[in-house]
Amino acid sequence: MTQIATVEELLPGGKAVVSVPRKSACGHDCEECAGCGMTGAAVRATAFNPVEAQPGQKVVVESSTKKLLGVVALVYMLPVIFFLAGYFLSEGLGETVRYVIAIAAAALTLLPIMWYDRRARRSGALTYTILRTL
């Protein structure tokens, strides 16, 4: 997946800190909608800088789609699966108890999600590469 980013600062080892605008499904055409109140938030990330881009330059960055899809599945699908499993496996209990168990099961998925997040940050699994300057 490629995106446009801004180089914020240079790091040793041929890397740079880039600011990548956060994307969403709505496209943030706020002049037309103004419904969510969301502003254009940006994510700061480390990127490999083989083109030697300088601070302030707009660049095209690429992230691994395969790894990104794995993260999306973990963060979005795992809680849903655990919620449904908690609800259906507690059949025979009162409805309120079933929902409490389902919510607790979904909340339990925060542990592996946080563990993976820390592991990915340490290992640099989710990295960007600067492809070219604009």
Residue type for position 59 = V
pLDDT band at residue 90, thresholds of 50, 70 and 90? very high
Q: What is the pLDDT of residues 52-75, one digit of tens each?
A: 899 999 999 987 766 777 778 888
pLDDT band at residue 39, thresholds of 50, 70 and 90? low
Closest C-alpha among 121, 120, 87 to residue 105: 87
Count other Cβ atoms within 10 Å, centred on residue 25. Answer: 5
Maximal CA-CA distance, the chain: 63
Q: Which two tokens stand for residue 1?
A: 């997946």
Whole-model pTM?
A: 0.57
Supply the DSSP string of 3-27, one letter for each residue. Answer: EEEEEEEEETTTEEEEEEEPP-TTT
Does residue 102 contact residue 79 with C-beta atoms inside 8 Å? Answer: no
What three-state secondary structure class fits 28? coil
Q: Residues 124, 126, 129, 134: what is their CA dihedral angle, to the nearest 10 degrees?
A: -130
Q: What is the DSSP letter of 69?
A: H
